[in-house]
Structure 1
Amino acid sequence: MAQWSRISQLIQYLPDETINDFYPTVTFAIEVRHFLSEWIEKQRWEDFALENVEQEANARALLDEIIMLLQSSSQQNANVVDKMKLMQISKNMSMFQHQPLQFAVMVRDTLRKERVLLRAMPQVNNPQQHQQYITRESAFPSMQEVDHLVLKVLEVQDLRQNIHQVQEELNWERQNYESLQGTMDTTVSEVTRLQNHIQQLEYNFNTMATRFQLLRECVDCLDQCQTQLLSRLKAWRGEQYKATIGHPFNDNLNVLQMWCEQLLGVNGKLRQELMLIVDPIPELQERLGQLLQLLIQSSLVVDKQPPQVIKTQSKFSTTVRYLLGEKVAPGKPVVVRAQIINELQARSLNITPSDNVGEVINNTAILEHNTTSKSTCATFRNMSIKKIKRADRKGSESVTEEKFALLFSTEITITGCDTAYRIQIISLPVVVIVHGSQDNNALATIIWDCAFSEPDRLPFVVPERVPWKLMCSTLNSKFTSEVPTHHNLDHYNQHFLAQKIFDKPDFNDDFSNMMVSWTQFNKEVLPGRLFTFWQWFEGVIDLTKKHLRTYWSDGLIFGFIGKQHLHLILKERPNGTFLLRFSDSEIGGITIAYVGAAEMGEHKQIIKNIQPFTKRDLDIRSLGDRIRDISDITFLYPDFPKHDVFKMYYSEPQTSTSGGYIPVSLHTKVGMETGSLATNVTSVAHHTESHHNAAIYQVPQFQQFTPQEAITREQMETSDSPAVEFSPDPAVFSDEATGDMDLVLNSLLNFP
């Protein structure tokens, strides 16, 4: 594809300043590039340089021809605006009549910039992808800075070639001058001409001594661009970590790989230029060597992180990518080795393969190049931690608070480099557990580390306390990303969460700058409860993403609200007004609070709370169907008829028989027991074949029971011994029970 046809596809996506830099309106307008593109690309512009004065005649000929072609295009153009524009441009270009070489060099540099841009752009045909690239490009080192660096290197190369040519010509003329001095018939004019030419060549040669300064400028520019690039690599890793708590993350590494390859190429060209200098410059050689080593060692990244909570004896995968993979010297395969390291080792990274704190199975992988994606990766598909060696714990620290990391290391030889480089990278922090019951607390450790660690912290130091506003933002990000939903936690939800974690149910002021501790987050149980704040909050996330996502996204669930606030907003509402809130006393439960009729002898309404529905309850019967079943609730707060807002969540009634059996359906009924406690009971309807006169039998409520824990919570927190998993939810053998439903149905069918 011709160069201009490719560039023209990108023009509309480039910033105006970039376009103006490429095609100055007065000197080389974009219209010239467009209308004369084919002719321009056929000429030998690379032959021109300001020092090559003997090329001035050729440059003037090209200038005259381009002016003539512009005038011809103007006369043939039917568009009056284009006609006048081209005529004006042809007049403007006449300004180069006395400086034709400057004109030719300007066109040469423009074409070079275009080639640099095309090399930098991903090879895609979708304009939308180009737009995404341009948008993302703003986050990387300035394209103009790198373009400027590439052009300066080309200038250094041109200058070196010109110096060589001038040196050869000077040697030749000096030889001629010496031979003429011994000849009797040599005229004075010839000698004078030769002397003048030699002086001019010597002057040109001396002015080209600026090459040393230009080389120094190139190294400085390379240093700046590489510093920006490495900063962006660090930021990419930070964004990758923040994705743990729901922050947006673009994991595409192609642009970063492009910058790495480009800077490696510039470094190699500058090292070649230094080697071609008669008198070496040790300072620049040393700087380029250091930049090269830093770039090679910084180009190894963990593309796909391992799970941040890893259970021993369980398989997991991870991928390491080398951004200079196409530059790796062919021959011996590059083997990447993984080992697990503790916090102390992560601080030094002066580790040998024998310094193991754990045994990792399937811990080697080959660095392989994918020609389609142009990525070079080592993929560990079936890794497993067989055993782990714990550090001595202090005080109340548990095993789920101890952080490790995977260290990936290998030896790389880059084409054109004699030295093999030892490179390594560590993964994000991980917590190693031995049982699924530790998963929730281990995740809390990771979330606190991810949300509140500083970018350049000493591994893996985190603050003990953080402002509530940061914690609140983290909870919102985690909730909306896990559910997933665009419906954020509102001000009322956030205020209730603060009241809960600080145990200040009556505090109505701003919590933003109050400091919340790790202990409050997931060390101490909530007052009057058997679980921590995080365990309770994570239970809400799990319930919502599995059963309530659409309800929450449609704004039908009020969510987090305290009882004081609940009574305040419902006390003046008519009977049957209800709202949905997450249970304050049970992990992973949602309850219905509604305005009920006054009890006998009472004159005012009362706020009733139906026993919370858990995941197991909603597995049996959906929330929408349960709301339809309960006749005592009629209006969703503030005044929406429930059948209008929840009808889309109702299940279709079962109307056909299957295998000759009488169909059976489950219904939710709110009953009143001793002490006027609002509870859930199950009603099962036996329908006749014609589905008329259904007889309703109420199932007596079975006694609640609490599962016996195999080990205490403290033992589970601090032990590596496998434990019996249990659910913190009490099993209620009613309509939300997970017991044998056949037993319930059989007891009903045998009812006398």
Structure 2
Amino acid sequence: MAQWTQMQMLIQYLPDQTINELYSATTFPIEVRYFLADWIEEQRWEDFEVDNVDQKVQAESLLEQIIAKLQTKAQEISNVVDKMKLMQISRHMSMFSSQPLQFATMVRDILRKERVLLSTASSQIPNLQQFPHFSSREVVSTAPNMRDVDHLVLKVLELQECRKRIHHLQEELNWERQNFESLHGPIQQNGLDPQNSELQKIQTHIQQLEYNVKTIAKNRFQLLQETVDCLDQCQARLISRLKAWRWEQHQATIGLPFDDNLSPLQTWCEQLLGVNGKLRQEVMLMGEPIPELQEKLARLLQALIQSSLMVDKQPPQVIKTQSKFSTTVRYLLGEKVAPGKPVMVKAQIITEMQARSLGQMGTVPSENVGELINNSAILEHNTASKSTCATFRNMSIKKIKRADRKGSESVTEEKFALLFSAEITITGCDKPYKIQMISLPVVIIVHGSQDNNALATIIWDCAFSEPDRIPFVVPERVPWKRMCMILNSKFTSEIQTQHNLDQYNQHFLAQKIFDKHDISGDFSNMMVTWAQFNKEVLPGRQFTFWQWFEGVMELTKKHLKTYWSDGLIFGFIGKQHLHLILKDRPNGTFLLRFSDSEIGGITIAYVSASENGGQKIQNIQPFTKRDLDIRCLGDRIRDIDHITFLYPEYPKHDVFKKYYTETDDHLPSPNRGYIRVSLQTKVGVEAGSASPTVSSLPPHSDNPLNLGYPVQQFQQSFSADSLVDGNPTPPVEFASPNHAAVFNESPHQNMDIDFILSTLED
């Protein structure tokens, strides 16, 4: 929720005086905040300081943009009063043209005050929690860093004011001491009364000043300690948030939501670096060494500098050798890097064991386990995005050295990572710092056939690893209910749909992975092992659970996304459950289910009449990606006359009409002499008397009859645009194992029949 959205909820509870002070009609009217709310919050006002002349151009640009946006908004508004009001405000704001930095810092302070009001709202306004859309949690999640830093900055300002006050008191004390000496000397020399009232008055003032200096100095030291502790706590929260960002980035692989915007965290890092510098300055100005605080600030500085390297764009988590890939690392303190010396970031491959040693010892591994091509890049600053990144655009793994495998472990279960390292110098710091960060785990393969199994390793790692684990430890077994959530998240994110797997889908997936056929069983507390997920083949099949599930995702993503999103595909359902829900439905009732026996297939199950006058449920040979590349699912459903109602009772032409491809039979042939071609799906005897029957089909490795499916044939019809001797030419039909070709043969057209049939099969 945007900050202004929350402020609008809060404003009705605030006194008029507070609102008027916050949004002054003469400097920053509330209309500006209202109409430009999103744009204002997207800009980096926190960077501005009123005495930093280097920021003047940027401040002028922001002021000009505000004026222009107000004028544009005024033209868009139909309300005459609001239009005139905005035009008047835009003209009035031009008064800041000579003081753009004052304007920028004013906006910065307004946003800070808003955050302070929001952070304290729940405690100061008891009834606010009852407001329909207000939540204190949302306030916390909106900008915890801003509130923390605001509080920290206020303490630093208080500390600086304290030092300045001591300095002024000390100057006044020195002056009074000089006055005292100038009066006291002549009095002694001339034998005058040493209890001179003027002298006594100065002496009393000196004593008061000395007491004030001592008291404020004590408070200053205490405040300095508190501020350093506050910085420590604020930085701990920052580093925790950086870790959380990396964890959320990891979880995004399985489809969990992830905001990849690093700019707020970059602002937080830069602000803490600035605070650290000011506190180190305050420690130096204390007049005497304070080793404890100096060491603590140095330790915090090092931790901040070393924690600010992030892998912004991760490398592919499955990498094929000899293939190009890219990745980007971002340094969040990039604008603070000392100029004059380019920073070179280098990448190397590390094993799981090396990653563990790196976490424990912090040292870069010396042993090279793989050869990386194009493994260095320079940190470059992008002024427009205010980001400093090193982009590895054409990296490639030339070769890899693998560890000895344990037991039945395959190469697709071995995890590596990329380690990025550099040496960097920050402006205002005495020494360079070594920084490093590792990528998410990757699996390295040498052939595309390994891709599916490697992806399973990555999915299991992303789904079930813990945030602060030892690299790259994962459990061997997990609860099914947790696995089920992951499968749903991955499926919906991969398909990019809001339509989740329902309880029937989830139950069937459990039946499949556990090889249990009881449709009333409860699997929620059962444990799924890694072996069940992607090491052991499913009973009676030649593939694992993940290979089958991933095939369904690929088919749905490429060909069935809208059908699934519209709820037209039942999806994952077992044949036992299928018979249960279809047994009492009229003939022609059908549903769409993913094939249980074939990777990446969808089949149509429908009710038909049996030979004895009863009913039976038929499952049409599954359509695969290859089939749907040729003819879409909607057209195939339209072609099949046997199916009429989508379960439970929706007329198929009503629900699938929008998926039908418009025919162009009514259009003239684009070129005379060519025969127009149309494609049509036929099932069983629908192909006509000339079509092959079940018994006449020749043996074929892909024969659907071997799986117990009714045969589905693909018919291609040819219609001549001209007549032969004034009469239509008789059709000649040819049959192939999988397709029936029907076309008109003309003496004017020499057609290669073998070529046509082979083309149809391809």
Same fold, TM exceeding 0.5? yes
Q: Quick one: distance in 2 between partners of 1:645 and 1:387?
A: 53
Match of 2:735 among 691, 700, 703: 700
What is the correspondence of 1:15-94 to structure 2 with a 5 Å cutoff?
A: 25=15, 29-35=18-24
8 Å CA contact 1:683, 1:696 repeated in 2: no
Distance 1:582 1:113, change over 3 A: closer
Q: 2:199 aligns with which of 191, 216, 236?
A: 191
Query: Residue 391 in 1 paired to residue 399 in 2?
Result: no
- 1:215-614 mapped onto 2 (5 Å cutoff): 215-349=224-358, 350-352=362-364, 354-599=366-611, 602-614=612-624
Shift of 1:591: 0.5
- Alpha carbons of 1:379 and 1:733: their partners in 2 closer, same or farther (altered >3 Å)? farther
Asked whether the equivalents of residues 329 and 390 of structure 2 are also in contact (C-alpha less than 8 Å), the reply is yes
1:147 is aligned to 2:182: no
- Verify the 8 A CA contact 1:166 1:201 in the aligned structure 2: yes
Q: Distance in 1 between matches of 2:740 and 2:353?
A: 52
- Name the SS for the 1:29 alignment partner: helix
Equivalent positions of 1:614-653 (< 5 A) are 614-653=624-663
Change in Cα spacing, 1:323 to 1:568, as seen in structure 2 (3 Å) is: same
Q: Tell me if the contact between 1:683 and 1:699 (Cα under 8 Å) persists in the aligned partners.
A: no
2:145·2:238 contact (CA, 8 Å) conserved in 1?
no
Q: Check 1:744–1:223 CA distance in 2 against 1; reply closer, same or farther (3 A cut).
A: farther
Gaps of 5+ in 2: 30-48, 50-104, 117-133, 685-692, 696-704, 742-750
Question: Partner residue of 1:166?
Answer: 169
Sequence identity of aligned pairs in percent? 68
Q: Deviations over 1:287-311 (max 9, x none)?
A: 1111000000000000000000000
Provide the rounded CA distance (Å) in 2 between the counterparts of 1:548 and 1:171. 85
The 8 Å contact of residues 115 and 147 in structure 2, kept in 1 or not, is answered as: no
Once residues 360 and 541 of structure 1 are traced to their aligned partners in structure 2, the CA distance between those partners, rounded to angstroms, is 32
Matched, 1:687 2:719: yes
- The Cα offsets for residues 609-662 of structure 1, whole Å up to 9 and x where unpaired, read as 111111101111111111111111111111111111111111111323132211
Shift of 1:700: 2.9
Distance (Å, rounded) in 2 between the aligned partners of 1:418 and 1:530: 63
Distance 1:454 1:15, change over 3 A: farther
Q: Please state whether the residue corresponding to 2:422 is helix, strand or coil.
A: strand
Counterpart check, 1:667 vs 2:680: yes
1:269-319: CA deviation from partner (whole Å, max 9, x where unpaired): 000000111222111111111100000000000000000000000000000
Task: Report matched runs for 1:107-118 at 5 Å.
Answer: 114=109, 117=112
How far apart in 2 are the matches of 1:370 and 1:39? 31
Q: Deviations over 1:447-501 (max 9, x none)?
A: 0000000001000000000011111111111111111211111110000000000
* Partner Cα separation in structure 2 for residue 19 and residue 292 of structure 1: 43
Contact 2:145 2:268 in 1 (8 A): no
Q: Is the 8 A contact 1:320 1:377 kept in 2?
A: yes
Please give the alpha-carbon distance, in whole angstroms, between the structure 1 residues aligned to 2:343 and 2:582.
Answer: 68
> Hey, what's the Cα distance between the residues in 2 that align with 1:170 and 1:748?
105
Distance 1:748 1:695 in 2: 23
How many Å separate the matches in 2 of 1:183 and 1:273?
A: 41
CA distance in 1, matches of 2:465, 2:670: 59
Task: Quote how far apart the aligned CAs of 1:324 are.
Answer: 0.2
Letter of the structure 2 residue corresponding to residue 171 of structure 1 = N
- Tell me which of 134, 137, 141 is aligned to 1:138: 141
Task: Report deviation, 1:111.
Answer: 7.2
Q: 1:140, 1:232 within 8 Å by CA — same for their partners in 2? A: no
User: How many angstroms apart in 1 are the aligned matches of 2:459 and 2:229?
Assistant: 40
- CA distance in 1 between counterparts of 2:317 and 2:608 reads 47
- The answer on whether the counterparts of 1:578 and 1:594 sit within 8 Å (CA) in structure 2 is yes
The answer to whether residue 215 in structure 2 is matched with residue 207 in structure 1 is yes
Q: How many residues align?
A: 623
Q: Which moved more, 1:525-534 or 1:741-750?
A: 741-750
Give how far 1:265 is off: 0.4
Query: Within 2, Cα distance between the matches of 1:299 and 1:743?
Result: 68
Structure 1 residue identity aligned to 2:172 = E
Change (3 A) 1:528 1:32: closer
Amino acid at match of 1:150: V
Q: Distance in 2 between matches of 1:148 and 1:482?
A: 42
- Report the 3-state secondary structure (helix = DSSP H, G, I; strand = E; otherwise coil) of the residue aligned with 1:594: strand
Q: 1:664, 1:685 within 8 Å by CA — same for their partners in 2?
A: yes
The residue type paired with residue 236 of structure 1 is: W
On the 8 A contact 2:679/2:716 being kept in 1, the answer is: yes
Distance change (3 Å), C-alpha of 1:515 and 1:139:
farther
RMSD after superposition: 3.1
How has the CA–CA distance of structure 1 residues 33 and 255 changed in structure 2, closer, same or farther, with 3 Å as cutoff? closer
Query: What does the per-residue CA deviation read over 1:49-105, in whole Å, with 9 as the maximum and x for residues that have no partner?
Result: xxxxxxxxxxxxxxxxxxxxxxxxxxxxxxxxxxxxxxxxxxxxxxxxxxxxxxxxx
Following the alignment from structure 2 to structure 1, what is the Cα–Cα distance between the partners of residues 310 and 629? Answer: 42
Determine the C-alpha separation between the residues in 1 that align with 2:663 and 2:25. 73
Q: What letter corresponds to residue 201 of structure 1 in structure 2?
A: L
1:159-184 C-alpha deviation (Å, 9 max, x unpaired): 11111111121122122112212334
Specify the code of the residue in structure 1 equivalent to 2:671: G
**Aligned partner of residue 565 in structure 1, secondary structure:** helix
Q: Which moved more, 1:603-612 or 1:657-666?
A: 657-666
Which letter does structure 2 place at the counterpart of 1:287?
A: K
Write out per-residue CA displacement over residues 312-335 of structure 1, whole angstroms, 9 at most, x where no aligned residue: 000000000000000011111100
Please give the secondary structure, in 1, of the residue aligned with 2:433: strand
The answer to whether the Cα contact below 8 Å between 1:338 and 1:363 also exists between their aligned partners in 2 is yes
Matched residues in 1 for 2:265 and 2:709: separation? 62
Contact 1:116 1:147 (8 Å CA) reproduced: no
Contact 2:344–2:422 under 8 Å retained in 1: yes
1:119-162 alpha-carbon deviations (Å, 9 max, x no partner): 999xxxxxxxxx9xx96972553533321110111111111111
Residues 116 and 658 from structure 1, CA distance in 2 versus in 1: closer, same or farther, beyond 3 angstroms? closer
Distance 2:733 2:681 in 1: 10
Question: What one-letter code is carried by the residue in structure 2 that aligns with 1:178?
Answer: E
Contact 1:339 1:353 in 2 (8 A): no
Letter in 2 for 1:305: Q
Give the 3-state SS of the residue equivalent to 1:236 in structure 2.
Answer: helix
Indicate if the aligned counterparts of 1:684 and 1:696 stay in contact, CA closer than 8 A.
Answer: no
Give the structure, 1 or 2, with the largest relative contact order (CA under 8 Å, sep 6 or more). 1
Q: Secondary structure at the match of 2:287?
A: coil
SS, match of residue 511 in structure 1:
coil
